[in-house]
Every structure is written in structure tokens, then in C-alpha cells.
Amino acid sequence: MDYFLTEEQKMIQELTEQIAREKIRPVRAELDESEQFPWEIMRILAQADLFGLYIPEQYGGMGGGIFENCLAVEKLGAACIGIATSFAASGLGAYPILLFGSEEMKQKYLPQIASGKRLAAFGLTEPGAGSDVSGIRTTAVKDGDSYILNGSKQWITNGGESEIYSVLAITDKAKGPRGASFFVVETGDPGFSFGKKEKKLGIRASATRELIFQDCRIPADRLIAKEGMGFVIAMKTFDKSRPGIGALGVGLAQGALDVAVEYARKRVQFDKPIISFQAIQHKLADMATKTEASRALIYSVARYMDSEPREVSKVAAMAKLYAGDVAMEVATNAVQVLGGYGYMKDYPVEKMMRDAKILQIYEGTNEIQRNIIGQELNKEYGRLKESFF
Amino acid sequence: MHIVVCIKQVPDTKNVRIDPDTHTLVRQGVESIINPFDMFAVEGALKIKDENGARVTVLTMGPPQAAEALRDTLGLGADDAVLLSDRAFAGSDTWATSTTLAAAVRKMGDVDLVICGKQAVDGDTAQVGPEMAALLDVPFATFVKKIDVARSGSITVHRQTDEGTEVWKVQLPALVTVIKELGEPRVPSLRHKMRAKKAEIAVWGNSELGLDPNSTGLCGSFTQVVRVFSPQRRGSRVQLEGSIENQVEQLFQYLKKARVPGL
């Protein structure tokens, strides 16, 4: 399919495809096995200017948008979404600063993030607050020119590897959801430490750790925007980042489809390549159709969002929901096409199937995405004067 | 510091076929790549640029489409590129090639270091680098795996030889040919790639170089390919079998029968 990309967008695809082919594919199985953080690949992505794709040029970025970032993430994700997640998580951590930070804060942090010299991360989830963000307990109390943070964040992607963290904490418990605020916390801040590295089903090259704040004192100017803006910042950040998660799904589905079709053409049973059997053909046809539909949706949503419309929550949720579900389905079916070989670690689809599951869970479970879409539909149709009966 | 890297476009050796009638390389439909050893040369130059600061110019001689290979090296971070392209250069052997490349380096004037791959994977002669050094009258080191730049207008190079590693101090200007151990070539960066896309690549013909027409191309070549052929299959072969002692005995008797002197 031709998606009428610009020269620059094609260049992003070309470059990320080269990195995926030459640098990621040869090491993905090993990093999955050893659970080592892919620092060498992060260095390559940094040298290739990719960490700054969506960051404006005045802050050292490439001045692209969500779409450009999606194109990169898709190609990297086709090789390994564990590694691509480590890359994308820095963007998630950067968005609160990019969208709501003061000019001074942007000048300080964005060039470091854009150059890939320092990775960022996003700290929201807590043991008691996942889908229900209002359950967060981490507090930030103002003390003169400082804030003092106490509490912990759970399952933070890039935790312990990143140096810049956007962290959500309660500044005024009485105000409920309006009492939360975002802060920038840096590695080395007093009272800031990390828990153990989590063992995971998939995306094992990515690092997931607990962030621990024990009387963690940070300068007051690390507050992003104003007190009480926390939930708004979280929601706007997720709106921006969700198409990227969808793009990881498109990449993973494409990667699994590529392996499945190549295998089906070569594998001979009953004296014929198995792709000649309809049972396999139909499976591959559905996998290919859904992968392309998923890509078309992600590209449309990303381009639409780059035009900066007012309401994006519904389409951003659709992008994440659909591409994540398709990735899970396509990866599962790729394993089925490869049969016993697919179940073994000698072929990459076993890893892809384990990896795909996270796409339905992180950055808002797919159930939460359906909630968002449902609520937005209710609002949208409530505003209409017209009846369709 | 001004570094010139010489590169060559070669057929992708992974898909090379030989025409059974003409015994020449089938070039049609075979993708051209930059000679892999030249990619190590580019990487070596860019490393020096990263660490010490340098201007890197990439130089090649070839048909107009060789400009694409130069563009690829600009995408990696080289500063400038020069293509030597002229009908008068066609049919060059290694000497005529070296003559032409050396003339271009001389025309640039301010070159401190020339880096070449140790050899090209199509011809495998490993002659062009040393010949250029001779023509430029500068010291050279071959099979280099490490280059350290000193402040005093010299470099220290580590040469890989069959016996081990030799460490040489080489006065600049100089020429080195490099091997894989110098470092894996980097991937392009988006900024460099974008700049490369729009970059004007200088094309120099013989009117720019001003060489005697008798010293370039086919006329300037001491060697000419008269005929290309595949070696005949050897007729008789003897395979020895049995225990090692037994095989040695058989071999000894065989050589004795063949009247090998001293046996």
C-alpha cells in the first residue's frame, strides 16, 4: 500500500528499517533471554537522531509529529517491541514536559531527551492505582522552595535506566482528582531510589522497576505547569502516546505475518507447501487484512492528531485498542501457522506472542480504551440534535 | 584535519554470478554496494572526526550513478563528496585509477590523511592504496586496525600482520588502508540523511584534474584484460585413506615414485 508519505517520512522508514534489520533482529532473542537493557541500541537510535523525532527543532528535535514517531516505532517494533518500548517510553516521559512544561523546563530537559543523551520515563501506576488513576497515594508536599515526595510507583518502564522521570503525585488530597500534580524527578535526587527489576512474560529487553520516594526533596520549579493539573496532563499525554502504542502493534503484527508467510511457503507437508492449503491461506489472509487495516487506522489517527484538532481521546483510544488486539491475534495465529516450530524459541513468533500481550495492557488496558470510546460516543451523540430513527 | 576516504562501488558479492560464455561478472540486476572494506575506512574517518574534529571528504571514481554511493556516506556524516567521472577514465587498471585518485587528492591541496579499504572485494588487488601513496609521495601503512591521532602532526597506527600487531608512528600527510577491526560501520543519522538528499556532489572530469590523457583510463593502464576464463578442472586426483601412519606412508611412496628430489 502507498500511504503517500513525504520524502522525509520515507527516510524515517528507511533508516528505522535498516536499524531493525541490521542491529535489532540479530540481538533480539539474546536480549529477550538475558533481560538485558538494550543500551547499545539506544545509543544507535540516539546517533540516528530518532529520540527527537517529535520534539520541536528549537529544543534540538527533528520537528516531526506523532505520525513521524509512529513510522519509526512501527519499523522498530517489527523487529522487537521490547526494544521499541524502551525507545518509546522516553517519549511518554517527555510529553508532560513538552506539552505543559515552562519554557525554562523545556530548554533544560528536551534537548537532553531529543539527543538521546538521557532517557525519560513516565511514573503514574502504583500498587493500588492502575486503571483507576484516582487511587494514587504518592504525595508531594511543598516545603519552602522544595517539594517533598513520599510513596512509590510500580511497573515503571525504563525505571532505573532513565534519568528523567515525569511523576504524578497528590498535592492536595481534599481536592480529589483535582489535587494531583506532575513533577520532574531526576536520578540522583535525594530520597529517590529504585526497587528490584521485574521479571516479565514479554518485552523482556525493556526494564520495569519500582520508583521509591522517601522524603525525596526536589526544587519547587520541577512542578510541571500548576498544582492540580496532574490528571489533565496524564490524559493529554496518553492521547499523544496511544497511537505510538498502536504503531508498535502494527509493527509486531507485520513482523509475525512476515515470518508466517515465509514459513508457509517453505514448509512442506502432504507433499505440498502448506500455503497451498486453504486452512493456512485463510488464516494468513485474515492476518494480512487486519494488519493493513490496523496500519491504515494508526496512520489516519496519527495524521489527524498532528493537525491538532480539539477532541482526540476517542480516536487515540481506537488506535491503541484495535492495533493491540490485532497484534495479539496475528502473533497467536503466526505461532499456529508454524505449529510446533512456532512454539519453539528457534523461531521469533514465540517471542512475538509473549510480547504482544502487553499491548492490550499497558498505557491503559484495552478495557479502559473501550470505556473511553464508549464515553466519548455518549458525549458526541448527546450533543446531536438529529435523530437517526 | 582534512581526511579523504576513497571508496569503490562493487557488485553485492552475496549475489554475484559469472556468465558461463564470457566468464565475466553478470552486472545486470545485481545491486551495487560500497566495498565493505571502504565502509570501515569511512567509519575510521568519522571516528576521528567525532573524537578530534576533522573534515571528511569522500572520493570515488566511477560512472554518474556512483554519486549515490557518495550520498550514502554523506548520510553517515561525511562532510563533502567528490565524484571523478569522465569517459577518459573508463577502462582504468589499478595504476590509472591510482593516478586519477591521486590527482584529485593533490587538487584538494590540504589533505592530511587518506584512508582506503585494504582492498576491493571485486578485484581483490589491494594495490590502489599503496600506489596512491607512491604517487603522492607520502608514507603509508596497510592493514591498519587502529588509528590514534597525536597533536604533533603524526598518527599512531596498529597494523595487523600474520605475525601479530605492529605499531607504527606515521608522519602526516599519509595514507592508510584499513581492515574490519577498525570498527563496524555506523548507521546513518536522520539529519545527515536529509542533508545528503539535497547535497550537491562535485563531479570532476579530466578538465578539472588536468592529467595527460595518456595517463588515464585504458591508455594509462599498464595492464589490460585480454581474456577471462575459468580454470580447467584438474583431471586426476588421488585420495588417500586409512590411518594417519598409513596415509603418510602412501604419500611418501607416491612422492618417491614421482621422483621428487631428495626422496
Instruction: Tell me which amino acid residue B67 is.
Output: A
How many CB pairs below 8 Å do chains A and B form together?
Answer: 33
Burial class (CB in 10 A: 0-12, 13-18, 19+), B154: middle
- Residues B60-84: pLDDT tens digits? 999 999 999 999 999 999 999 999 9
Query: Contacts of residue A18 in chain B, CB cutoff 8 Å?
Result: 187-188
**Bridge partners of residue B59, in order along the sequence:** B6, B82
> pLDDT digit string (tens) for B129-162?
999 999 999 999 999 999 999 877 899 999 999 9
| Cα A3 to Cα B163: distance, rounded to the nearest angstrom | 57
Burial (Cβ within 10 Å: 0-12, 13-18, ≥19) of residue B27: exposed
- Kindly state the cell numbers that stand for A293: 487495516
How sure is the predictor about B208, in pLDDT bands with cuts at 50, 70 and 90? very high
Pick the CATH number of B2-215 from 3.40.640.10, 3.30.479.30, 3.40.50.620, 3.30.830.10: 3.40.50.620
Here the cell at position B194 is 536529509
Cα separation, A89 vs A123, whole angstroms: 10
Query: Are A49 and B191 within 8 A, CB to CB?
Result: yes
CA B158 → CA B113, B134, B144, distances in Å?
15, 21, 6
Cis bond leading into A111, ω under 30°? no
The minimal CB distance from A49 to the residues B186, B190, B197 is found for B190
Contacts of B186 in chain A (CB under 8 A): 44, 47
pLDDT at B22 over 80: no
- All residues of chain A having their beta carbon less than 8 Å from the beta carbon of residue B193 are 11, 14-15
Structural domain spans, chain B: 2-215
Cα A45 from Cα A48, distance rounded (Å): 5
Flag whether pLDDT at B13 surpasses 80: no
Nearest-Cα distance to chain A for B65, in Å, is: 20
pLDDT of residue A343: 97
Q: In this complex, do B189 and A44 lie within 8 Å of one another by their Cβ atoms?
A: no
Distance from CA of A11 to the nearest CA of B (A): 7
Contacts of B187 in chain A (CB under 8 A): 15, 18-19, 22-23, 44, 47-48
Nearest to A22 among B187, B190, B191 (CB): B187
Beta pairing partners, B141: B176
Question: Cα–chain-centroid distance for residue A125?
Answer: 14
- Cα–Cα distance measured from residue A389 to residue A385, given in angstroms and rounded to the nearest whole number: 12
User: Is the pLDDT reported for residue B191 higher than 90?
Assistant: yes
Residue B18 pLDDT: 78
Tens of pLDDT, residue by residue over A81-92, are: 999 999 999 999
Q: How far is Cα B25 from Cα B19, in angstroms, rounded to an integer?
A: 6
Is A23 in contact with B187 (Cβ distance < 8 A)?
Answer: yes
Residue B46: helix, strand or coil by DSSP?
Answer: helix
Q: Which of A307, A374, A363, A360 is nearest to A332 (CA)?
A: A360
At A9 the pLDDT is: 97
* Among candidates B186, B193, B197 on the partner chain, residue whose Cβ is nearest the Cβ of A47: B186
Q: Do A18 and B188 touch (CB under 8 A)?
A: yes
H helices present in A80-114, as ranges? 81-100, 103-114
CB contact under 8 A, B194 and A19: no
For residues A271 and A184, what is the distance between their CA atoms, to the nearest angstrom?
A: 62
* Residue A109 pLDDT: 98
pLDDT, one tens digit per residue, over A281-327 is 999 999 999 999 999 999 999 999 999 999 999 999 999 999 999 99
* Burial label, B260 (beta-carbon count in 10 A; 0-12, 13-18, 19+): exposed
Max Cα–Cα distance, chain A, nearest Å = 79
ipTM (interface pTM): 0.86
Domains of chain A: 7-119 (1.10.540.10), 121-228 (2.40.110.10), 231-380 (1.20.140.10)
Beta strands B113-117; B174-178: pairing state: parallel
Residues of A with CB under 8 A from a CB of B: 7-8, 11-12, 14-15, 18-19, 22-23, 44, 47-50, 53, 62
Helix (H) or strand (E) holding B118: none
Is the model's pLDDT at A260 over the cut of 80? yes
Using alpha carbons, list the distances in angstroms from residue A383 to A192, A305, A377, B221: 47, 22, 10, 83
Distance between CA atoms of residues B8 and B24, nearest Å: 19
The β-bridge relationship of strands B113-117 and B202-204 is unpaired
pLDDT-derived band at B87, boundaries 50, 70, 90: very high
H helices of chain B, where? 36-52, 67-76, 94-108, 128-136, 190-198, 206-209, 244-257
- Catalytic residue numbers of A read 363
Chain B residues near any Cβ of chain A (below 8 Å): 186-191, 193-194, 197
Which three cell numbers, joined as nine digits, stand for A156?
515503571
Are A47 and B194 within 8 A, CB to CB? no
CB contact under 8 A, A11 and B197: yes
| Residue of chain B with shortest Cα separation from A50 | B190
Alpha helices in B53-189 (DSSP H): 67-76, 94-108, 128-136
Q: Tell which residue, A12, A76, A86, has the closest CA to residue B189.
A: A12
Confidence class for position A373, pLDDT limits 50, 70, 90: very high
C-alpha B214/C-alpha B36 separation (Å) is 31
Q: Could you tell me whether strands B2-6 and B55-61 are parallel, antiparallel, or unpaired per DSSP bridges?
A: parallel
